[in-house]
Amino acid sequence: MELTIFKSIIYGDLKPWASDAVNEKFYRQNRSANFIKPTQTINEYYKALKEIHKNKPNLFKEDGLEIYLLQADTDISHDILHPLVEIQLAEPTTATQRFYHYLLLNEATRLSDRVFKCINKDIGEIQKKEIVQNVVKSCKDLLLRIGTDQDSFKQTDLTAYVIPQLITNVIRFLKETEKLYPQFLSELPSNKNELYGELLQQPIPDIEIDKPTPEFQTVNNIFLGIDDYKFEKDTRFSFGFNGDATKLKSILTLLNRNIELLNEDKTTVDDLYAVLTSRDLQRGAPQVYIGCQSNLFNHVWRKLKPMFSNLGPTSLSSSNLFYTTNDKPFSKSNLEKKVSEYSTNIDTINNIFNQL
């Protein structure tokens, strides 16, 4: 696997010690919200990067995963938007540092998302092992090259800021891959002695390099087909919306208008939309009071599920945000009941989804 953006930092168009690397005005004027913090998919960052550096096509060459991404989809779908292991990065203080900071942070996320999508295509075990082992080899090869060549890097303030960020994000991508797919590794997972001591030839830092984030647990459960996410206070949680936001808002509005989906004395369409699409849903989020029969909401939930990666019965009931017309929390058993009545309204629901 080609780590094109990462490699460009030390050998390509993005070397921080190049004469034109520090360009405060350019990066201040051209950075965008999607480049810094994409909200729907990590590819928003990549599109923004292409716009920023549209004169550097070498940054966007194929990385070797394209053949896998062309294969048939499976039922597993999720967009990784956040780190899967915890990292510590120095905050940027200039526009140029800010560009490199978010470039490397988001690129590591994009690569993990890309590998996750490849692994969950309709491919064989041998191909999955090939993907994972190529990632491990590519990351270790790059770390070794940094360790071997670091004395030749021209020392500038920007170099001193960027290279540690590069190292941290390469190791992060490596550890995320090893933790998510241990069954496909050809050897034991890497450790600090190997990465920092042997490859980078640096002092071994007193930090954790594989402490999982809440996003890791969500992604790992999805990968393993487990729907048992426990909703803990102050823990990042979402239902994993990955559909068309405009379409979802239209569907909810039409459902509320035609089947009285919500108890509008307590919950608005905007409340429900915010809960369903939140990327960081915490306690204190709007409570959702359903206005229709539970049987109908059950059917709506089943129709909505393909737009989400974490809208299973356990996740929805454990959130403690959804209430029946009797003001009782929706339970897992409520959602798992078969829909057998209200055929007219069920047809209405189906028509709303089919028309949009």
Mean of per-residue pLDDT scores for the chain? 90
Residue 234 has pLDDT above 90, yes or no: no
Tokens, residue 234: 């102050």
Q: What is the pLDDT of residues 120-135, one digit of tens each?
A: 999 999 999 999 999 9
Give me the pLDDT at residue 284, please: 58
CA torsion sign, 338 to 342 to 343 to 345?
A: negative
CA distances from 275 to 205, 338, 355 (A): 40, 25, 24
Of the pLDDT bands very low, low, confident and very high (cuts 50, 70, 90), residue 232 is: very low
Burial class (CB in 10 A: 0-12, 13-18, 19+), 32: middle
Distance in angstroms (rounded) separating the CA atoms of residues 81 and 310: 14
Give me the pLDDT at residue 231, please: 44
Give me the pLDDT at residue 149, please: 96
Helix intervals (H) in 81-202: 95-119, 125-149, 157-180, 192
Q: What is the pLDDT of residues 47-89, one digit of tens each?
A: 999 999 999 999 999 999 999 999 999 888 889 999 999 999 9
Q: What is the pLDDT of residues 263-290, one digit of tens each?
A: 988 899 998 998 999 887 765 578 899 9
Instruction: Give percent helix, percent strand, percent coil of the chain, each to the nearest 5.
Output: 55, 5, 40
Tokens, residue 276: 């369903």
Q: Which residues contact 151 (CB under 8 A, 6 or more apart)?
A: none
Of the pLDDT bands very low, low, confident and very high (cuts 50, 70, 90), residue 327 is: confident
Give me the pLDDT at residue 309, please: 86
